[in-house]
């Protein structure tokens, strides 16, 4: 079976998580993604840990092994005249180009004229604050983009400093937005509702700001502000920005084994929590009238019950009564898959890599029944140089050695 995007060709000249995730989504659905990396050093993702056996290596970064899976890799210095010329030849047959943040690549390629020179090409640019506005020259880390999105105002304890979510949440969100936008632009290009000749079609480019994409994560807070006229603020593990009448519990509590469960009250049958824990007070009319207003009291009753159970037993007993509790799993427990949910959905896949060995990682995030998912390993740095430069562009094999010696590839 072919992938849903088989036949689509995308050049990925980005660096970092956002562009990497954008093109990973496309590759997992069958697109031919050609990763264009700097000679010798590659994408910055190759130098981001954790590494196999905790030893830094360009081929064993866990992040790169995941985000580069299903792609091809060439090395090319696009800032050199020869490199820029070769890259433009690659763009002649590409449907999309994804570029990342604050590299000399932006200037050397002449982004403003790319769409006019390549009318079929959809150019997707991902930067911290977009391609226009006063913050264009700003550099930013994940901490900065999450802060400027507004997310940190509601993440953490009320009497403590705000907390950045784990990992690269804003960049993953930007990558998702970029992938959707790229596909929408390519679909629009191919639909051509006005019957215009290809050369007459309008140029298509996408400007994705990581900080704006992260604002999507604050959608609940924005809706609450509009609904309750209350600004969300940090409230620990409890709901933020809601009035006392809001449903509770909806929080994370500790269990006897040192683990945690996510606790929630059944929306339609709130008295089930009292039945589960044999605590009549949890079904009292004044408490049910203002559940969030009685959060401290509710937590104390739940903690007594949870102190006699591990997280697995607590979640199992609650779910038997249709009370929506669930275990909070650490990364190792997710992979071990004690409950078998991930195995049942074939969520994890084992991919053989020539340097890292067998790599267990999440499979395609989107599964279409009539299409196959791409599961090939992450490429070695420059693994496809000969295939692309000789096989696709028609360079003589001896030219590769000269280009490598000159630092072009």
Using one digit for the tens of pLDDT, what is the confidence trace for 246-302? 899 999 999 999 999 999 998 899 999 999 999 999 999 999 999 999 999 999 999
DSSP-based three-state secondary structure for 234: coil
Closest CA to 338 of 378, 301, 311: 311
The token duo for 17 is 């998580």
What's the rounded mean pLDDT across residues 377-398? Answer: 96
* H/E stretch holding 179: helix 169-191
Residue 200 is predicted with a pLDDT of 52
What's the rounded mean pLDDT across residues 4-16? Answer: 94
CA distance linking residue 405 with residue 409, whole number of Å: 8
Phi, psi dihedrals of residue 125, rounded to the nearest 5°: -110, 130
CA distance linking residue 109 with residue 149, whole number of Å: 30
Query: 299-323 as b/e, with b when 16 or more CB fall inside 10 Å?
Result: bebbeebbeebbbbbbbeebeeeeb
Residue 102 is predicted with a pLDDT of 47
CA distance linking residue 402 with residue 409, whole number of Å: 9
> What Å distances lie between residue 322 and 234, 239, 276, 326, 342, CA to CA?
30, 21, 10, 11, 22
Confidence tier at 108 by pLDDT (50, 70, 90): low
What's the rounded mean pLDDT across residues 235-254? Answer: 90
Instruction: Please list the residues that pair with 126 across neighbouring strands.
Output: 208
**What does pTM read for this prediction?**
0.91
Residue 193 is predicted with a pLDDT of 56
What's the rounded mean pLDDT across residues 95-99? Answer: 95
What's the rounded mean pLDDT across residues 216-243? Answer: 84
Counting every residue written for the chain, the total comes to 409
What's the gap between Cα 291 and its chain centre? 34
β-pairing, 260-264 with 250-254? antiparallel
Q: What percent of the chain has pLDDT over 70?
A: 94
Residue 201 is predicted with a pLDDT of 52
The token duo for 48 is 């981001």
What's the rounded mean pLDDT across residues 370-382? Answer: 85
DSSP-based three-state secondary structure for 238: coil
Closest CA to 66 of 14, 18, 8, 21: 21
């Amino acid at each position: 079976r072919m992938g849903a995007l088989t036949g689509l060709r995308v050049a990925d000249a980005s660096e970092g998580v956002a562009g990497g995730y954008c093109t990973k989504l496309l590759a997992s659905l069958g697109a031919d993604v050609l990763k264009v990396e700097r000679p010798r050093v590659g994408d910055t993702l190759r130098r981001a840990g954790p590494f196999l056996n905790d030893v830094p290596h360009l081929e064993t970064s866990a992040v790169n092994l995941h985000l580069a899976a299903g792609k091809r890799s060439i090395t090319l210095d696009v800032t050199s005249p020869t490199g820029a010329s070769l890259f433009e030849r690659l763009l002649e047959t590409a449907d999309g180009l994804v570029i990342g943040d604050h590299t000399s690549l932006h200037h050397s390629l002449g982004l403003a004229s790319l769409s006019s020179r390549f009318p079929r090409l959809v150019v997707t640019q991902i930067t911290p604050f977009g391609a226009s506005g006063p913050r264009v020259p700003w550099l930013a880390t994940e901490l900065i983009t999450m802060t400027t999105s507004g997310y940190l105002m509601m993440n953490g304890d009320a009497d403590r400093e705000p907390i950045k979510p784990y990992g690269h949440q804003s960049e993953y969100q930007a990558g998702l937005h970029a992938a959707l936008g790229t596909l929408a632009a390519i679909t629009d290009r191919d639909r051509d509702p006005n019957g215009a000749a290809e050369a007459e079609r309008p140029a298509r480019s996408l400007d994705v700001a990581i900080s704006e994409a992260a604002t999507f994560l604050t959608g609940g807070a924005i809706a609450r502000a509009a609904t309750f006229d209350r600004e969300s603020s940090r409230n620990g593990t409890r709901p933020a920005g809601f009035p006392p009448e809001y449903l509770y519990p909806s929080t994370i509590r500790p269990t006897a084994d040192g683990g945690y469960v996510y606790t929630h009250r059944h929306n339609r049958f709130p008295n089930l929590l009292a039945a589960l824990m044999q605590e009549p007070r949890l079904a009292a009319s004044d408490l049910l009238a203002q559940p969030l207003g009685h959060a401290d009291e509710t937590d104390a009753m739940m903690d007594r019950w949870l102190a006699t159970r591990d997280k697995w037993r607590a979640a199992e007993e609650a779910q038997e009564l249709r009370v929506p509790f669930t275990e909070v799993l650490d990364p190792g427990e997710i992979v071990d898959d004690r409950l078998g949910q991930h195995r049942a959905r074939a969520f994890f896949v084992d991919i053989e890599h020539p340097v890292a060995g067998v790599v267990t990682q999440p499979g395609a995030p989107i599964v279409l029944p009539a299409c196959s998912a791409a599961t090939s390993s992450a490429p070695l740095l420059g693994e496809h140089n000969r295939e692309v430069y000789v096989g696709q562009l028609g360079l003589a094999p001896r030219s590769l050695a000269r280009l490598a010696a000159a630092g072009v590839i």
